[in-house]
Amino acid sequence: MRNKEELKYLAKKFLEGTASAEEKAALDHWYSSGLAEAAEEELVFTAEPEDAEAIKNRLYGNIAQKLLVPAREKPVLVKLWPKIAVAAGLFFVAGLALYFYLSSENFDAEKRLSAAKMINAGTNTAVLTLANGEQVNLSGSKTGLVIDASGLTYNDGDSLAGDGAAALKATSELTLSTPKGGQYQVVLPDGTKIWLNAASALKFPARFDGLKTRRVELTGEAYFEVAKAKQQPAPKTRRLPFIVASGKQEVEVLGTHFNINAYTEEDKIKTTLFEGSVRVSLNGLAGKGAAAILSPGQQAWVSNQEVKVGPADAEEALAWRNGFFKFNSESIPSVMRKLSRWYNVEVAYEGEISKSRIIGTISRNKNIKEVLEMLEETKLVTFKVEGRKVIVK
Protein backbone atom coordinates (compact mmCIF):
# COMPACT_ATOMS: atom_id res chain seq x y z
CA MET A 1 0.00 0.00 0.00
CA ARG A 2 1.50 3.33 -1.03
CA ASN A 3 1.46 6.15 1.51
CA LYS A 4 -0.40 9.37 0.85
CA GLU A 5 2.73 11.34 -0.06
CA GLU A 6 3.59 8.86 -2.81
CA LEU A 7 0.02 9.01 -4.09
CA LYS A 8 0.05 12.82 -4.12
CA TYR A 9 3.36 12.75 -6.00
CA LEU A 10 1.99 10.34 -8.61
CA ALA A 11 -1.22 12.34 -8.99
CA LYS A 12 0.81 15.54 -9.45
CA LYS A 13 2.81 13.88 -12.23
CA PHE A 14 -0.39 12.62 -13.83
CA LEU A 15 -1.87 16.12 -13.90
CA GLU A 16 1.35 17.53 -15.33
CA GLY A 17 1.26 14.90 -18.06
CA THR A 18 4.64 13.41 -17.03
CA ALA A 19 3.44 10.17 -15.42
CA SER A 20 4.74 7.00 -17.04
CA ALA A 21 2.49 4.14 -18.09
CA GLU A 22 3.58 2.23 -14.99
CA GLU A 23 2.78 5.18 -12.71
CA LYS A 24 -0.65 5.62 -14.30
CA ALA A 25 -1.31 1.91 -13.84
CA ALA A 26 -0.25 2.14 -10.18
CA LEU A 27 -2.67 5.01 -9.59
CA ASP A 28 -5.46 3.22 -11.38
CA HIS A 29 -4.84 0.03 -9.37
CA TRP A 30 -4.86 1.97 -6.08
CA TYR A 31 -8.06 3.78 -7.01
CA SER A 32 -9.90 0.63 -8.09
CA SER A 33 -8.78 -1.29 -5.01
CA GLY A 34 -9.77 1.57 -2.73
CA LEU A 35 -13.27 1.72 -4.16
CA ALA A 36 -13.73 -2.03 -3.86
CA GLU A 37 -12.44 -2.28 -0.29
CA ALA A 38 -13.70 0.92 1.29
CA ALA A 39 -16.69 1.83 -0.93
CA GLU A 40 -15.26 5.33 -1.34
CA GLU A 41 -17.41 7.80 -3.22
CA GLU A 42 -16.25 9.78 -6.19
CA LEU A 43 -17.22 13.19 -7.41
CA VAL A 44 -16.63 13.95 -11.05
CA PHE A 45 -17.73 16.51 -13.59
CA THR A 46 -17.79 17.54 -17.21
CA ALA A 47 -17.52 21.14 -18.27
CA GLU A 48 -18.13 23.18 -21.40
CA PRO A 49 -17.24 25.40 -23.21
CA GLU A 50 -13.74 24.98 -21.72
CA ASP A 51 -11.56 22.48 -23.54
CA ALA A 52 -9.73 19.61 -21.88
CA GLU A 53 -6.43 21.47 -21.53
CA ALA A 54 -8.05 24.51 -19.89
CA ILE A 55 -9.85 22.37 -17.35
CA LYS A 56 -6.74 20.32 -16.65
CA ASN A 57 -4.75 23.51 -15.98
CA ARG A 58 -7.48 24.92 -13.74
CA LEU A 59 -7.66 21.73 -11.69
CA TYR A 60 -3.92 21.47 -11.37
CA GLY A 61 -3.69 25.08 -10.23
CA ASN A 62 -6.21 24.37 -7.49
CA ILE A 63 -4.35 21.23 -6.37
CA ALA A 64 -0.99 22.99 -6.42
CA GLN A 65 -2.34 25.79 -4.24
CA LYS A 66 -3.58 23.31 -1.65
CA LEU A 67 -0.31 21.38 -1.67
CA LEU A 68 1.62 24.54 -0.77
CA VAL A 69 -0.42 25.24 2.40
CA PRO A 70 1.76 24.71 5.55
CA ALA A 71 1.49 21.22 7.06
CA ARG A 72 0.53 22.56 10.49
CA GLU A 73 -2.97 23.30 9.26
CA LYS A 74 -5.72 20.73 9.78
CA PRO A 75 -5.95 18.13 6.96
CA VAL A 76 -9.13 17.47 5.03
CA LEU A 77 -10.01 14.67 2.61
CA VAL A 78 -10.75 15.88 -0.90
CA LYS A 79 -11.80 13.52 -3.69
CA LEU A 80 -10.13 14.67 -6.87
CA TRP A 81 -8.74 11.80 -9.02
CA PRO A 82 -8.74 12.91 -12.64
CA LYS A 83 -9.04 10.30 -15.36
CA ILE A 84 -9.09 12.56 -18.37
CA ALA A 85 -10.75 11.62 -21.66
CA VAL A 86 -11.99 13.80 -24.51
CA ALA A 87 -14.78 12.67 -26.87
CA ALA A 88 -17.03 14.92 -28.98
CA GLY A 89 -16.06 17.94 -26.95
CA LEU A 90 -16.95 16.27 -23.66
CA PHE A 91 -14.32 16.37 -20.93
CA PHE A 92 -14.61 13.70 -18.27
CA VAL A 93 -12.92 13.87 -14.88
CA ALA A 94 -13.36 11.13 -12.26
CA GLY A 95 -12.34 11.41 -8.57
CA LEU A 96 -9.35 9.97 -6.56
CA ALA A 97 -9.12 10.45 -2.78
CA LEU A 98 -6.13 12.69 -2.03
CA TYR A 99 -5.16 14.37 1.24
CA PHE A 100 -4.77 18.13 1.05
CA TYR A 101 -4.72 20.91 3.61
CA LEU A 102 -7.19 23.63 4.50
CA SER A 103 -6.73 27.01 2.82
CA SER A 104 -8.47 30.31 3.53
CA GLU A 105 -11.24 29.21 1.16
CA ASN A 106 -12.11 26.39 3.52
CA PHE A 107 -12.71 28.82 6.36
CA ASP A 108 -15.09 30.79 4.15
CA ALA A 109 -16.90 27.59 3.24
CA GLU A 110 -17.16 26.65 6.92
CA LYS A 111 -18.95 29.94 7.59
CA ARG A 112 -21.29 29.65 4.59
CA LEU A 113 -22.17 26.02 5.31
CA SER A 114 -22.22 26.05 9.11
CA ALA A 115 -26.02 25.72 9.24
CA ALA A 116 -25.78 22.60 7.05
CA LYS A 117 -24.29 20.66 9.98
CA MET A 118 -27.82 20.40 11.38
CA ILE A 119 -29.26 18.84 8.20
CA ASN A 120 -28.86 15.07 8.27
CA ALA A 121 -29.59 12.47 5.62
CA GLY A 122 -33.09 11.05 5.19
CA THR A 123 -34.41 8.20 7.32
CA ASN A 124 -36.99 5.40 7.28
CA THR A 125 -40.23 7.30 7.74
CA ALA A 126 -43.66 6.99 6.14
CA VAL A 127 -47.40 7.37 6.68
CA LEU A 128 -50.04 4.75 5.88
CA THR A 129 -53.43 6.25 4.97
CA LEU A 130 -56.59 4.15 5.12
CA ALA A 131 -59.56 4.59 2.80
CA ASN A 132 -61.47 6.51 5.50
CA GLY A 133 -58.66 9.05 5.76
CA GLU A 134 -57.22 7.71 9.01
CA GLN A 135 -53.44 7.99 9.05
CA VAL A 136 -50.93 5.70 10.75
CA ASN A 137 -47.41 7.04 11.34
CA LEU A 138 -45.07 4.12 10.72
CA SER A 139 -42.13 3.45 13.01
CA GLY A 140 -38.84 5.07 12.02
CA SER A 141 -36.95 2.24 13.69
CA LYS A 142 -38.40 -0.20 11.12
CA THR A 143 -37.59 -0.42 7.43
CA GLY A 144 -40.80 -1.76 5.95
CA LEU A 145 -44.42 -2.86 6.16
CA VAL A 146 -45.98 -6.23 5.30
CA ILE A 147 -49.61 -6.57 4.28
CA ASP A 148 -51.16 -10.06 4.17
CA ALA A 149 -54.26 -11.98 5.19
CA SER A 150 -53.36 -11.70 8.87
CA GLY A 151 -53.25 -7.91 8.77
CA LEU A 152 -50.54 -5.26 8.96
CA THR A 153 -47.11 -5.96 10.43
CA TYR A 154 -43.60 -4.61 10.13
CA ASN A 155 -41.14 -6.64 8.09
CA ASP A 156 -39.36 -7.81 11.24
CA GLY A 157 -42.58 -9.44 12.46
CA ASP A 158 -43.59 -6.78 14.99
CA SER A 159 -47.21 -5.69 14.88
CA LEU A 160 -48.40 -2.13 14.37
CA ALA A 161 -49.89 -0.28 17.28
CA GLY A 162 -53.61 -1.09 17.47
CA ASP A 163 -55.50 -3.82 15.67
CA GLY A 164 -53.82 -4.11 12.27
CA ALA A 165 -56.10 -6.93 11.12
CA ALA A 166 -59.23 -4.94 11.91
CA ALA A 167 -57.86 -1.88 10.13
CA LEU A 168 -57.13 -3.96 7.06
CA LYS A 169 -60.63 -5.45 6.92
CA ALA A 170 -62.20 -2.02 7.32
CA THR A 171 -60.62 -0.54 4.23
CA SER A 172 -60.48 -1.37 0.53
CA GLU A 173 -57.59 0.92 -0.35
CA LEU A 174 -54.33 1.93 1.25
CA THR A 175 -51.79 4.67 0.49
CA LEU A 176 -48.20 4.52 1.65
CA SER A 177 -46.44 7.87 1.42
CA THR A 178 -42.97 9.10 2.28
CA PRO A 179 -42.17 12.75 2.99
CA LYS A 180 -39.11 14.61 1.80
CA GLY A 181 -36.26 13.05 3.73
CA GLY A 182 -38.01 9.67 4.03
CA GLN A 183 -37.96 6.20 2.48
CA TYR A 184 -39.80 2.94 3.21
CA GLN A 185 -40.51 -0.56 1.95
CA VAL A 186 -43.78 -2.44 1.62
CA VAL A 187 -44.73 -6.02 0.80
CA LEU A 188 -48.16 -6.20 -0.87
CA PRO A 189 -50.73 -8.99 -0.27
CA ASP A 190 -49.49 -10.86 -3.38
CA GLY A 191 -45.88 -10.85 -2.17
CA THR A 192 -44.72 -7.98 -4.40
CA LYS A 193 -41.90 -6.00 -2.76
CA ILE A 194 -41.70 -2.24 -3.29
CA TRP A 195 -39.12 0.29 -2.12
CA LEU A 196 -40.35 3.92 -2.00
CA ASN A 197 -37.90 6.79 -2.41
CA ALA A 198 -38.33 10.18 -0.72
CA ALA A 199 -41.39 12.36 -1.48
CA SER A 200 -43.28 9.44 -3.04
CA ALA A 201 -46.69 7.78 -2.64
CA LEU A 202 -48.11 4.38 -3.57
CA LYS A 203 -51.86 3.72 -3.65
CA PHE A 204 -52.92 0.06 -3.77
CA PRO A 205 -55.77 -2.34 -2.85
CA ALA A 206 -55.73 -3.81 0.63
CA ARG A 207 -56.53 -7.18 -0.97
CA PHE A 208 -56.20 -8.55 -4.49
CA ASP A 209 -58.79 -11.30 -4.04
CA GLY A 210 -61.39 -11.30 -6.82
CA LEU A 211 -59.69 -8.55 -8.85
CA LYS A 212 -58.98 -8.89 -12.56
CA THR A 213 -55.74 -6.94 -12.29
CA ARG A 214 -53.30 -5.93 -9.58
CA ARG A 215 -53.30 -2.18 -10.14
CA VAL A 216 -51.33 0.36 -8.11
CA GLU A 217 -50.72 4.10 -8.54
CA LEU A 218 -47.33 5.74 -8.04
CA THR A 219 -46.15 9.31 -7.68
CA GLY A 220 -42.44 9.88 -7.09
CA GLU A 221 -40.00 6.99 -7.37
CA ALA A 222 -40.12 3.30 -6.47
CA TYR A 223 -38.32 0.05 -7.17
CA PHE A 224 -40.55 -3.00 -7.77
CA GLU A 225 -39.96 -6.73 -7.42
CA VAL A 226 -43.30 -8.02 -8.70
CA ALA A 227 -44.45 -11.45 -7.56
CA LYS A 228 -46.01 -13.82 -10.05
CA ALA A 229 -49.62 -14.17 -8.97
CA LYS A 230 -52.39 -16.34 -10.39
CA GLN A 231 -56.12 -16.42 -10.14
CA GLN A 232 -57.97 -19.63 -10.81
CA PRO A 233 -61.24 -19.29 -12.70
CA ALA A 234 -62.43 -22.72 -13.84
CA PRO A 235 -61.48 -24.49 -15.91
CA LYS A 236 -58.20 -22.67 -16.68
CA THR A 237 -55.59 -20.80 -14.67
CA ARG A 238 -54.46 -17.42 -15.95
CA ARG A 239 -51.93 -14.92 -14.73
CA LEU A 240 -53.08 -11.79 -12.91
CA PRO A 241 -51.42 -8.77 -14.56
CA PHE A 242 -49.69 -6.17 -12.37
CA ILE A 243 -50.14 -2.56 -13.56
CA VAL A 244 -48.38 0.54 -12.27
CA ALA A 245 -50.04 3.83 -13.22
CA SER A 246 -47.91 6.97 -12.86
CA GLY A 247 -48.97 10.22 -14.50
CA LYS A 248 -49.43 9.68 -18.23
CA GLN A 249 -47.78 6.27 -18.08
CA GLU A 250 -48.88 2.71 -17.44
CA VAL A 251 -46.49 -0.20 -16.94
CA GLU A 252 -47.86 -3.72 -17.22
CA VAL A 253 -45.89 -6.70 -15.92
CA LEU A 254 -46.35 -10.35 -14.98
CA GLY A 255 -43.34 -10.80 -12.68
CA THR A 256 -40.20 -8.71 -12.89
CA HIS A 257 -37.82 -6.17 -11.32
CA PHE A 258 -37.92 -2.54 -12.42
CA ASN A 259 -37.64 1.06 -11.24
CA ILE A 260 -39.99 3.95 -12.03
CA ASN A 261 -39.05 7.61 -11.57
CA ALA A 262 -42.23 9.66 -11.91
CA TYR A 263 -41.66 12.85 -9.91
CA THR A 264 -43.97 15.58 -11.16
CA GLU A 265 -41.19 18.18 -11.12
CA GLU A 266 -39.12 16.17 -13.62
CA ASP A 267 -39.75 16.59 -17.35
CA LYS A 268 -40.10 12.88 -18.10
CA ILE A 269 -41.12 9.58 -16.50
CA LYS A 270 -38.34 6.98 -16.57
CA THR A 271 -38.87 3.23 -16.31
CA THR A 272 -35.78 1.03 -16.03
CA LEU A 273 -36.02 -2.76 -16.41
CA PHE A 274 -33.63 -5.10 -14.60
CA GLU A 275 -35.30 -8.47 -15.03
CA GLY A 276 -38.25 -9.92 -16.95
CA SER A 277 -40.34 -7.89 -19.38
CA VAL A 278 -42.68 -4.89 -19.11
CA ARG A 279 -44.94 -2.99 -21.42
CA VAL A 280 -44.79 0.81 -21.08
CA SER A 281 -47.65 2.78 -22.58
CA LEU A 282 -49.37 6.16 -22.55
CA ASN A 283 -52.41 5.56 -20.34
CA GLY A 284 -52.74 2.01 -21.66
CA LEU A 285 -52.72 3.02 -25.34
CA ALA A 286 -51.10 0.88 -28.04
CA GLY A 287 -49.54 1.80 -31.35
CA LYS A 288 -46.32 3.36 -32.62
CA GLY A 289 -44.89 5.91 -30.23
CA ALA A 290 -47.57 5.20 -27.62
CA ALA A 291 -46.26 1.89 -26.25
CA ALA A 292 -43.06 -0.14 -26.04
CA ILE A 293 -41.90 -3.50 -24.69
CA LEU A 294 -38.72 -3.32 -22.60
CA SER A 295 -36.02 -5.95 -22.29
CA PRO A 296 -33.64 -6.13 -19.33
CA GLY A 297 -31.08 -3.31 -19.47
CA GLN A 298 -33.42 -0.93 -21.28
CA GLN A 299 -35.08 2.27 -20.11
CA ALA A 300 -38.23 3.99 -21.37
CA TRP A 301 -38.78 7.75 -21.27
CA VAL A 302 -42.31 9.14 -21.43
CA SER A 303 -42.61 12.80 -22.38
CA ASN A 304 -44.49 14.91 -24.91
CA GLN A 305 -47.05 12.14 -25.46
CA GLU A 306 -44.43 9.70 -26.69
CA VAL A 307 -42.61 6.63 -25.37
CA LYS A 308 -38.92 6.39 -26.23
CA VAL A 309 -36.61 3.46 -25.43
CA GLY A 310 -32.84 3.26 -25.07
CA PRO A 311 -30.09 1.55 -23.09
CA ALA A 312 -30.31 2.08 -19.33
CA ASP A 313 -27.68 3.09 -16.79
CA ALA A 314 -28.72 0.42 -14.30
CA GLU A 315 -26.38 1.70 -11.60
CA GLU A 316 -27.87 5.18 -11.81
CA ALA A 317 -31.46 3.94 -11.70
CA LEU A 318 -30.80 1.73 -8.69
CA ALA A 319 -28.32 3.99 -6.87
CA TRP A 320 -30.91 5.50 -4.50
CA ARG A 321 -32.00 2.06 -3.30
CA ASN A 322 -28.37 1.12 -2.74
CA GLY A 323 -27.72 4.25 -0.67
CA PHE A 324 -26.07 6.53 -3.23
CA PHE A 325 -26.69 9.51 -5.46
CA LYS A 326 -25.39 8.78 -8.95
CA PHE A 327 -25.27 11.74 -11.29
CA ASN A 328 -25.02 10.87 -14.96
CA SER A 329 -24.20 14.11 -16.77
CA GLU A 330 -26.87 15.97 -14.80
CA SER A 331 -27.44 19.69 -14.66
CA ILE A 332 -26.94 21.46 -11.35
CA PRO A 333 -30.73 22.05 -10.94
CA SER A 334 -31.33 18.31 -11.46
CA VAL A 335 -28.70 17.46 -8.82
CA MET A 336 -30.26 19.95 -6.40
CA ARG A 337 -33.76 18.48 -6.88
CA LYS A 338 -32.42 15.12 -5.71
CA LEU A 339 -30.76 16.71 -2.69
CA SER A 340 -33.90 18.68 -1.89
CA ARG A 341 -36.04 15.54 -1.77
CA TRP A 342 -33.61 13.50 0.33
CA TYR A 343 -32.53 16.16 2.80
CA ASN A 344 -35.90 17.97 2.96
CA VAL A 345 -34.45 21.36 2.11
CA GLU A 346 -35.62 24.33 0.06
CA VAL A 347 -33.36 25.30 -2.85
CA ALA A 348 -32.96 28.84 -4.19
CA TYR A 349 -30.68 30.26 -6.87
CA GLU A 350 -28.70 33.50 -7.05
CA GLY A 351 -26.97 34.78 -10.16
CA GLU A 352 -26.10 32.78 -13.24
CA ILE A 353 -25.69 29.04 -12.67
CA SER A 354 -23.02 27.05 -14.50
CA LYS A 355 -24.24 25.03 -17.48
CA SER A 356 -21.65 22.33 -16.75
CA ARG A 357 -22.98 18.89 -15.96
CA ILE A 358 -22.20 16.75 -12.94
CA ILE A 359 -21.08 13.12 -13.18
CA GLY A 360 -20.33 10.97 -10.15
CA THR A 361 -21.53 9.21 -7.01
CA ILE A 362 -21.95 10.33 -3.40
CA SER A 363 -23.27 8.37 -0.42
CA ARG A 364 -26.80 9.28 0.67
CA ASN A 365 -25.75 8.62 4.26
CA LYS A 366 -23.63 11.76 4.40
CA ASN A 367 -24.68 14.94 6.17
CA ILE A 368 -25.66 17.53 3.56
CA LYS A 369 -22.70 19.70 4.53
CA GLU A 370 -20.31 17.00 3.33
CA VAL A 371 -22.23 16.66 0.06
CA LEU A 372 -22.22 20.40 -0.61
CA GLU A 373 -18.50 20.59 0.13
CA MET A 374 -17.82 17.82 -2.37
CA LEU A 375 -19.88 19.61 -5.01
CA GLU A 376 -17.99 22.84 -4.34
CA GLU A 377 -14.71 21.04 -5.06
CA THR A 378 -15.70 21.06 -8.74
CA LYS A 379 -15.42 24.88 -8.69
CA LEU A 380 -18.65 24.93 -10.68
CA VAL A 381 -20.89 26.06 -7.84
CA THR A 382 -20.90 27.49 -4.31
CA PHE A 383 -23.54 27.28 -1.58
CA LYS A 384 -24.84 29.21 1.39
CA VAL A 385 -27.15 27.54 3.91
CA GLU A 386 -29.73 29.45 5.95
CA GLY A 387 -31.78 27.16 8.20
CA ARG A 388 -33.13 24.50 5.82
CA LYS A 389 -32.66 26.70 2.76
CA VAL A 390 -29.74 26.03 0.41
CA ILE A 391 -28.79 28.99 -1.77
CA VAL A 392 -26.97 28.02 -4.97
CA LYS A 393 -24.60 30.53 -6.56
Q: Distance between CA 90 and CA 242 in Å, rounded?
A: 41
| Nearest C-alpha neighbor of 194 from the set 251, 235, 232, 267 | 251
Question: Which pLDDT does position 65 carry in this prediction?
Answer: 44
Give the C-alpha separation, 155 to 253, whole Å: 24
pTM for the full predicted model: 0.74
- Residue spans of the domains in the chain: they are 4-102, 123-316, 323-392
Give 386's contacts (C-beta < 8 A, 6+ positions apart): 115
How would you write the pLDDT of the chain (393 residues) with one tens digit per residue? 455 566 666 666 665 667 777 776 665 555 445 433 343 344 444 434 344 444 444 444 444 444 443 333 333 333 333 333 332 222 333 333 333 333 445 556 677 888 888 899 999 999 999 888 889 899 999 999 999 877 788 999 888 766 555 556 656 889 999 999 999 999 999 999 999 999 999 999 988 888 889 999 999 999 999 998 665 554 444 568 899 999 989 999 977 999 999 999 999 999 999 999 999 999 866 666 789 999 999 999 998 889 999 999 888 999 999 898 988 888 999 999 999 999 999 999 999 998 888 877 888 999 999 999 888 888 889 999 999 999 999
- pLDDT at position 76, please? 33
pLDDT value at position 380? 86
- Tell me: domain 123-316, CATH 2.60.120.1440, correct? yes
pLDDT at 115: 86
Q: Provide the Cα torsion 258, 262, 267, 271; round to 10°.
A: 10
* Confidence at residue 203, expressed as pLDDT on a 0 to 100 scale: 97
For 160, phi and psi rounded to 5 degrees?
-75, 160
As a whole number of Å, the CA-based R_g of the chain is: 24
Q: What pairing do the DSSP bridges indicate for beta strands 389-392 and 346-349? A: parallel
CATH topology of domain 323-392: Phage tail protein beta-alpha-beta fold (3.55.50)
Tell me if 218 sits within 8 A of 245, measured CB to CB. yes
pLDDT at 138: 94
Which parts of 286-374 are beta strand (E)?
A: 291-294, 298-303, 306-311, 324-330, 346-349, 357-363
> Percent helix, strand and coil across the chain, each rounded to 5?
25, 40, 40
CA 274 to chain centre: 16
Name the strand (E) or helix (H) holding 66.
Answer: helix 52-67
At residue 204, the pLDDT reads 95
pLDDT at residue 261, as a whole number = 97
Residues near 27 by beta carbon (within 8 Å), at least 6 away in sequence: 7, 10, 11, 14, 19, 81, 96
Tell me what pLDDT residue 305 has: 83
